[in-house]
Structure 1
């Protein structure tokens, strides 16, 4: 399992640990990944994802998982999140068509 956020694509970075005597040794800066279950209103079910804590704040700020996925670029989403985005957009189009037919 790679250390990469499924929604934002944030991954590990490389840098140096600098000692008091200015000796530099390589180290990795890992993203703060958490396992969460987010509720999708369009799909009507929970979705388990491994995302960064920063992405969790972004999802909350944009108004939920569905809004985040619809606004996100396809290039930064994981294949699993891209599949979810397609499902959510398909349900949104179907709901919009149903509402216009009823109204």
Structure 2
């Protein structure tokens, strides 16, 4: 199970623990991954995604899951998220026409 957000691409970072004596040892900074079910109003389905907690705030700020998916950067998304975005986009433009 990779520690990576499916929507933003945020993953594990590496750095150092620095003690009082300035000794440096390597460590991992893991993202705050949550497994959530996001409901799409356009498709009427729920999608299970691994998302960073900060991204959940971004979804709320964007006005919901559908609007976030339509405005998000595609090159950072996982293949699963790209296919969800494609479904949402297809239905949105079918309704608009």
TM-score w.r.t. length of structure 1: 0.92
| 2: CA distance, partners of 1:54 / 1:12 | 15
Q: Is 2:70 the counterpart of 1:74?
A: no
TM superposition shift of 1:45: 1.3
**1:29 is matched with which residue?**
29
The runs of 4+ residues in structure 1 deviating greater than 3 Å are: none
**1:101 is matched with which residue?**
none
Unpaired runs of 5+ residues, structure 2, are none
TM superposition shift of 1:88: 0.2
**1:87 is matched with which residue?**
87
TM superposition shift of 1:20: 1.2
Name the Cα RMSD after superposition.
0.6
**What is the number of equivalent residue pairs in this alignment?**
97
**2:17 is matched with which residue?**
17
| 2: CA distance, partners of 1:64 / 1:50 | 17
**1:61 is matched with which residue?**
61
**1:3 is matched with which residue?**
3
1:6-50 Cα deviation digits (max 9, x unpaired): 011100111000011110000010000001111101110111111
Unpaired runs of 5+ residues, structure 1, are 98-103
| 2: CA distance, partners of 1:81 / 1:65 | 12
